[in-house]
Amino acid sequence: MTSQTFDVIVIGLGGMGSAAAYHLAARGQRVLGLEKFTPAHDRGSSHGGSRIIRQSYFEDPAYVPLLLRAYELWDRLAADSGREVYRMTGGLFIGPPDCLTVAGSLRASREWDLPHDLLDEHEIRSRFPNFTPKPGDVALYEAKAGFARPELTVQAHLDLAEKAGATLQFGEEVLEWSENSGGVTVRTNAGTYTAGQAVICPGAWAPQLLADFGIPITVERQVLYWLDPVGGTESFVDHPIFIDENSDGMQIYGFPAIDGPRGGVKVAFFRKGVECTPETIDRTVYEQEILEMRERTAELLPALDGPCLDTATCMYSNTPDQHFVIARHPDSTNVTVACGFSGHGFKFVPVVGEILADLATSGATSHPISLFDPRRLVTT
């Protein structure tokens, strides 16, 4: 057993933790990052090859300032790492005019003066012939939407963190952590470490690692599908990301064909999950699930009625209101927490890393994060 002291210990090196480790190390902090799995692993939420990025944010316009900063940091990460961590493809957000996907995107675009086009059913078909919207559907088109590559992003942040001096240790599970007069102590299966600050980015492991904080987190199994287009992937290469909402409020989303002629097109339901834990998640994807995904996708994109080439599972960790938790813990000056991101968090990874570095080093941030205060969720 070893005992070492650092300025900041980052627990969890997925999307948010890897970014936090980088931003802290870049500021000269002595950083220890701890991760129970391998770098850029596929056991949590930061995998699957692609994640949508967009600014016309239907969830809440309050997110837009963070997105504007995140886009600046995506540019910086791509330049500093020399990797295509994101790509702009344009984004099409489709549905009835009063649905959340369309009306919410339009509200955010207008409130923040974001460039966008509103398309009726016929304009959608004309500009994007793969799509067959339902009668009366409209779409908001955002040229600045696209996708990020989660595994590349995590690895880029990890590499840059190490280059800046961070110590990153993998295959090392955190067993417990505690506060003390000088900061925090973290015990793992390999050693004991102390630091002035801890940043906890537990993903789907939040219910265990943050049990004492009273933050309600529900973990859900989600499924990703790669469908083989009828006639090949060519018409899906130069193609926007999309989110489509039907009259029942069920959303699906998808991407261009980014993995070559035999890579298919990735699609998924949005927030159609089954509650689980990291220990009980069923990693098997069943034929009925594939059939349901194919049928729903073919309504919008008839060419995607081909066979399913591949599937994957991941975990969403959700708060009751589906907004994030990013804060110094209300009862502690030594612990910063970041959780509840799943479903729409990955596009914020670079700016969340910056925010966590702010909170760990100075206790405050200039970014607007009041929406993410955990006290809104804790019942007494």
Instruction: With beta carbons less than 8 A apart as the criterion, state whether 124 and 131 touch.
Output: yes
Q: For residue 321, what pLDDT is reported? A: 94
In the predicted model, residues of the chain with pLDDT beneath 70 are 1-3, 379-380
pLDDT of 355:
98
| Fold agreement between 5-47+151-214+321-376 and 89-146+218-318 | no
| pLDDT on residue 379 | 62
Q: What is the pLDDT of residues 46-71, one digit of tens each?
A: 999 999 999 999 999 999 999 999 99
- pLDDT score at 212: 81
CA pair distance 42, 369, nearest whole angstrom: 29
Q: Does domain 89-146+218-318 match CATH 3.30.479.30?
A: no
pLDDT of residue 64: 98
pTM of the model: 0.96
pLDDT at 373: 93
Look at residue 1 in the predicted model and tell me its pLDDT.
Answer: 43
What is the CATH topology of the domain spanning 5-47+151-214+321-376?
FAD/NAD(P)-binding domain (3.50.50)
Instruction: For the chain, give every domain's residue range.
Output: 5-47+151-214+321-376, 89-146+218-318
